[in-house]
Structure 1
Amino acid sequence: MKKVNRVKRNEDFQTIFKNGFSSANRQFVVYVNPQQQQDHFRLGLSVSKKLGDAHLRNYIKRCIRHVMMDFDKDQLISQHIDIVIIARKPAATMTFHEMKASLEHVLKLAKVYKHRSK
């Protein structure tokens, strides 16, 4: 994932938490903040140390990034958004395909993702 598509600074995270809205399911919490100043979406990830050791946390983050890159640009409602995904405890025991289904579900709840009909 390119640097321009990442939320890295604490100030950016705090702005998204303060000004955005959230949706959640059992495995993930998603904060969404619409931005008009940018022409691309940005993604921030938060995986707590409570979920496991470093290699498990990195695996969860890699899976989330991979799922978000798999979504086509036309599947996201708007390209002008900041998204922060927080992984909850049940995410530590999920497979990649379960994470993908769960992320699709929570992004649909947040009205950020539309399923492309084939």
Structure 2
Amino acid sequence: MKKKLRIKKNSEFQHVFQKGESFANRQFVIYVLEKPEQDFFRIGLSVSKKIGNAVVRNQIKRYIRQSFLELKDEISTGKDYVIIARKPASEMDFFQVKSSLVHVLKRAKVLRRFPGEKN
């Protein structure tokens, strides 16, 4: 993902945690913070060491980034998203991760048009 689309600083993460709204399912927790002055969305990823070794954690992060890349046209802009992976995510393949993210994004009501739906 491009640099401007990422949240990297701890202070930015904390701001989203404190001011944002959270939505969750069994695999992911997503914090959403409105940023109306921003004409794009940014994502921050948090994958704990409890989930697995570095290989597993990096794989989950790649899956999440790729899912957001594929869904970028459907996701609402002007928001910051922080995605926290939970333990069950470590045993999922890419398609399961993507469908789980779609599920939690639907709960957050931030998908403009849901994948698979006809116009």
Per the normalisation by structure 1, the TM-score is 0.95
| Alignment partner of 1:112 out of 102, 107, 110 | 110
| Aligned counterpart, 2:88 | 90
Q: Distance in 1 between matches of 2:2 and 2:69?
A: 10
The size of the alignment, in residue pairs, is: 116
- One-letter amino acid of the structure 2 residue matched with residue 85 of structure 1: I
Structure 1 stretches of 5 or more lacking a match? none
Q: State the secondary structure of the residue aligned to 1:101.
A: helix
How far apart are residue 36 of structure 1 and its match?
A: 1.7
Structure 2 stretches of 5 or more lacking a match? none
- One-letter amino acid of the structure 1 residue matched with residue 42 of structure 2: R
Q: Distance in 2 between matches of 1:22 and 1:70?
A: 22
Q: Distance in 1 between matches of 2:100 and 2:80?
A: 19
Q: State the secondary structure of the residue aligned to 1:39.
A: coil
Q: Distance in 2 between matches of 1:16 and 1:52?
A: 25
How far apart are residue 72 of structure 1 and its match?
A: 3.8
Where in structure 1 do 4 or more consecutive aligned residues deviate above 2 Å?
A: none
How far apart are residue 37 of structure 1 and its match?
A: 2.3
Identity %: 53
| Aligned counterpart, 2:49 | 49
- One-letter amino acid of the structure 2 residue matched with residue 99 of structure 1: V
How far apart are residue 83 of structure 1 and its match?
A: 0.3
